[in-house]
Structures are given as structure tokens and as C-alpha cells.
Amino acid sequence: MNKIDFEIFPTTRYQGSKKKILPWIYESAKDLEFATVLDACGGSSCVSYLFKKMGKQVTYNDKLKFNYIIGKSLIENQRVKFSDEDLQNLINNDLEVPDFIQRNFKEVYYLKSENKWLDKMSNGILNMNHYRGQTLEFKKAIAYYALFQASLIKRPFNLFHRKNLTIRTNDVERNFGNKTTWDKTFYNHYRSFIKEANTLIFDSGVECRALNQSVLEMDDVNYDLVYLDPPYLNKEGSNETSNYLKCYHFLEGISNYNDWENLIDFNSINLRFRGTTEQNDFRKENIYETFERLIEKFRNSTIILSYKKGGQPSINFLIEMMKRYKRKVYTKSIHYQYALNRQIGDAKTNREVLIIGI
């Protein structure tokens, strides 16, 4: 197997991302026997990208549409890139600029001029027509990838769970954040992320695909290996950042631009989606049953469950549950603390754990 360069991987600002511990995940998985793999809760796509680098037939899946688009741009896409001409055609499109974001998100997340730019780009990507078929799909996916990343990097904490534009705009002394990054134009960020995406796209020689499904409702369970990285639920606290639709609803809105107005809860301060809690597959009130369903569903595959010490259910509970379906179950762990994780502790308490069932 060729040596993997972990410096050339997707940039991620995603809550719960495993990018920093990819070398450890690689060492934990490289000796397992598998040719096909499902990354069931794909998120930022960095673990799927690892499996793709390993030459596996990867199926990336995520319930959120904007994540699925990221998976399509970097995992399913093997050859199509976004040229300078594509960028100029998109930036300089002469379409009438809609005002949905400008009207509805005034002083919520971005400045007035930035909202106008986002309206223009969202509508421009939606109406790209210089290509046809799968090539057009991949071009649009790359364009969205750059738009999502640019939107995240200009947000305090890289999230949309608060109406907190004032963190950027208040004239105060700062001991956190990156004002230089926030003040850099959307266009400059966007151009950088287009370049990044082009660098990341490669042909693995093995067909890969991206899906947009609830992992609980997936019918296809025929994979040699299934990697499960569900949202982390702390035993205590609100677990607000474990609800990814609540944290990233703005990006989900961009990916559903024409239908966004029908999805918004206009009674919420930050205009999140309606039914945010109900649409979450991993809710605290039924989390034990959810894990049982998942492990039973993929009982014929090798399972790697990425988890964190201190979560609900407990690691010991999940090990015993997996033993009911797998002949061999073991764990590996490493010190790792998520961004914004309020669980205070040292290398003994902040542990990322892989529960592996064969």
C-alpha cells in the first residue's frame, strides 16, 4: 500500500471532525480485511477520503444534503475539476440576483454585502449550465464545496447555532477568533477553496459514490466494513452541538436554495429549520435503541464505531451490545478533545475510542 500523505486532505471546520486523528484511524484499520466500506455518517468526508486513499470502494453517506454534496465533490468525483474559466463564468454571471438571504438573514450571520454575495453565488451555482450530465453535477458540487467552506471560515466558532454577528463587528479587544480571516472577502476565500478542491480530487481507480440517506433507513447493508461516527452525546449538558442540522442549517439552506423559505422556522431567532430536533437521528431519549438498530443492521459487516469516553451510552454498554452480534470485539483509544467540547479533563478522560467488531 502506498504511503498516505496526511497533509493533503480536505480542510475541515466541522464539529466532531476526525481529521487530526486520521493517522491513528488508518493504523487501526489498515490490517483489517475489506474492499468495500460504508462511511455511514460521513460529515466532512475526511474519513471517506482516507478510505479512498487506501484504494477501497467507498460509499459516503450523510443525511444532510450539504454534506452529501461535499461527498460527491471529493469522494464520488474522480476526475472533474473546476477551471479558472468555470470560476469566472460563475462569478460574472449576469443572472438577476435574488434577495432571499438579504431579506431574511439581515444582521444574523453576515454583513449586508456578504449576504448579497451569498445570494448571487447560491443562485449562480443552482443555474450553472455550461456542462451537461455528470460533469455538470460534479462541477456544481465543487462550487458548493467552496461556498460551504468559505461560509464556515467567516463564522465565529464555524457554526450557525447562534445569532452572533456582533462577535465579528463589535469594536472590542479580542482574545479569541481570527478577525483577519473574518475580514477577508468571500471571493478570496472562495477562490482558495476552489483551488483546494482541485488539489484534492484524484482517481483512485475504484468506483466510489455518495449517498444522501438516513443511516437508520438505508436498505443496502452489503459492505465489508462499516465506519460509524455518530454525533457525540454527553451524559450531561444540552448536547446542542451534537445536532448537526441545528449547527449547520444555513449551509443546508444554501443547498436547498429554491425551497429554503418552506423549510425555515421563522419563529426561531436565528431562522433554523423547522423540526430540527425531530429530524435528528441521534436523540438522547432513544439513543440506546438507535445504537441497537445500527449494530443489528450491519451485523454482517466489520464495524468500526468511533466514540468518545463519557458519552451516552457508555463505552462498556456498547461493547457488550456489539458482542451480541460479533465474534470478536476490541477497542483502541487515543487522547482527543473536540472543538467546543465543554468536557474538561486530561489525557485519561478525553479519549477517542474505536470499538471494533469483527
Query: Does residue 346 surpass a pLDDT of 70?
Result: no
pLDDT tens column, 253-268: 999 999 999 999 999 9
Alpha helices in the chain (DSSP H): 22-29, 46-53, 65-71, 84-91, 100-104, 112-126, 133-153, 166-169, 179-183, 186-200, 244-255, 260-263, 287-297, 315-323
Q: Which helix (H) or strand (E) holds 335?
A: strand 329-335
Delineate the domains of the chain, giving CATH numbers in brackets: 1-78+207-243+280-358 (3.40.50.150), 86-201 (no CATH)
DSSP 242-268: G-HHHHHHHHHHHHTGGGHHHHB-TTS
Q: What is the predicted pLDDT for the residue at 343?
A: 46
DSSP 258-304: GGHHHHB-TTSTT--BTTTTTT-S--GGGHHHHHHHHHHHTTTSEEE
Q: In the predicted model, what is the mean pLDDT of the chain?
A: 93
Mean pLDDT across 207-213 = 98
pLDDT tens column, 292-302: 999 999 999 99
Query: Does residue 177 surpass a pLDDT of 80?
Result: no
**51-78 CB burial, b ≥16 within 10 A, e <16:** bbbbebbbbbbbbbbbbbbbbbbbbbbb
Q: What is the predicted pLDDT for the residue at 242?
A: 85
**How many other CB atoms are there within 10 angstroms of residue 151's CB atom?**
25
Whats the size of the chain, residue-wise? Answer: 358
Query: Does residue 306 surpass a pLDDT of 80?
Result: yes
Q: Which helix (H) or strand (E) holds 225?
A: strand 225-228
List the Cα angle 112/162/159 in 5-degree steps. 85
pLDDT tens column, 89-140: 999 999 999 999 999 999 999 999 999 999 999 999 999 999 999 999 999 9
Q: What is the predicted pLDDT for the residue at 205?
A: 98
Query: Does residue 1 surpass a pLDDT of 80?
Result: no
Give how far Cα 355 sits from Cα of 19, 42, 231, 287, 293, Å: 18, 17, 15, 17, 16
Query: Does residue 176 surpass a pLDDT of 60?
Result: no
> What does residue 51 show for φ and ψ, rounded to 5 degrees?
-65, -35
- Of 204 and 337, which is predicted with more confidence? 204
Mean pLDDT across 3-28 = 92
- Of 180 and 327, which is predicted with more confidence? 327
Query: Does residue 12 surpass a pLDDT of 90?
Result: no
Residue 2: band (very low, low, confident or very high) from pLDDT cuts 50, 70, 90: low
Query: Does residue 340 surpass a pLDDT of 60?
Result: no
43: number of CA atoms within 13 Å, CB side? Answer: 25
What whole-number percentage of the chain has pLDDT above 90?
Answer: 84
Residue 273 contacts residue 279 (beta carbons within 8 Å):
yes
Least confident of 9-13, 79-83, 193-197, 278-282: 9-13
Q: What's the CA gap between 308 and 314, in Å, rounded? A: 9
Residue 235: band (very low, low, confident or very high) from pLDDT cuts 50, 70, 90: confident
Residue 341: band (very low, low, confident or very high) from pLDDT cuts 50, 70, 90: very low
Q: What's the CA gap between 58 and 319, in Å, rounded? A: 26
